[in-house]
Amino acid sequence: MKQVSSSMPRTHRLRRQTLVSALRYVVLAAVLIVFFLPMLWGLSTSFKVEEDVFLTITSFFPRRWTFQNYIDVFGNPYTPILRWFFNSVKISVTYVLLYLFITSLAAFGFSRLHFRGREIVFWICMSSMMVPGVINMIPNYFIVYRLGLIDNMFSMVLPGLSGVFGVFMLRQFMLGVPKEYDDAARIDGVGKFRIYLNIVLPLCLPALVTLALFSFQGNWNDYMWPLMVTNRPETRTLAAGLSTFIERYSHQYGKLMAGAIVSALPVLVVFVLGQKYFIRGISIGGIKG
């Protein structure tokens, strides 16, 4: 009797754990559907003829499959999507490299160097995060215009380099790197820049990859700013170039969705390739921050 009575609570506990696990998976599946439903709708729409786009929900999948939208997107000389694609790659990669270099240098100074007013300067920089980025668009546009950078790739790179989120993120990570490494390097006669380059940066690789993913995605998907500083179609990025399919009195939703799918693929590839470092950077950063 004692064995039977002792096994009953264990059985109830196992049933409760199974029920909780099942509910957890149901909730996760529901959240997954909510997040992926717009992407699936866009993918489905890219294979529809224009007349079938606004049919009822029962026709979620195309009634008449067509690849004409992709053919028109890649074959239309007025929508040079391959040119836009390579513009986006060039601009995003340049932006990420410069952003990582500048923010890592600033984070190294705020975390490893000691100078008067360091904390005051740091928190003044952090306070700029409370200012919405849209407020800076007009001043940035006048600066870019006066410098003669309209229709130039650097007009889509330089203004974003002033973002301080990367400085905050890398600083918090660098604070978790033991300073004994710095002391040992100084004993061997290593300078501050060598300590930054050869010791601190390699140890911050997960945080750097995480920040690279964030900054690449933000620059790649930026729509309003590239649209403001480009006049010629051949100088636009992929996100800004998709506005060509939005006309004044009509929208070409099939072609627009085809272009949006092409635009989303590089971000997905970059995230899949850097997923290991992304998760590691978030978890370690959360523990050390």
**Domain residue extents for the chain:** 1-33, 77-288
Class of 77-288 per CATH?
A: mainly alpha
Task: List pLDDT tens digits, range 55-104.
Answer: 755 567 788 888 888 888 888 787 888 899 999 999 999 999 999 999 99
β-strand partners of 246: 251
pLDDT band for 286, please (50, 70, 90 cuts): very low
Task: List pLDDT tens digits, range 93-150.
Answer: 999 999 999 999 999 999 888 888 888 999 998 888 888 888 888 899 999 999 999 9
CA distances from 33 to 30, 47, 132 (A): 5, 21, 31
pLDDT score for 88: 93
Task: List pLDDT tens digits, range 9-55.
Answer: 677 777 777 888 888 889 988 888 888 888 888 888 888 888 777 77
Across residues 230-251, what is the average pLDDT? 80
pTM beyond 0.85: no
Q: Is the pLDDT of residue 247 over 50?
A: yes
Task: List pLDDT tens digits, range 154-190.
Answer: 999 999 898 888 999 899 889 888 888 888 888 888 8
pLDDT score for 13: 75
β-strand partners of 251: 246
β-strand partners of 283: none
pLDDT score for 141: 92
Across residues 187-202, what is the average pLDDT? 88
pLDDT score for 289: 43
Is 203:195 a contact under the CB 8 Å cutoff?
no
Across residues 221-234, what is the average pLDDT? 90
Higher pLDDT, 215 or 1: 215
Q: Is the pLDDT of residue 288 over 50?
A: no
pLDDT band for 2, please (50, 70, 90 cuts): very low
Across residues 186-205, what is the average pLDDT? 88
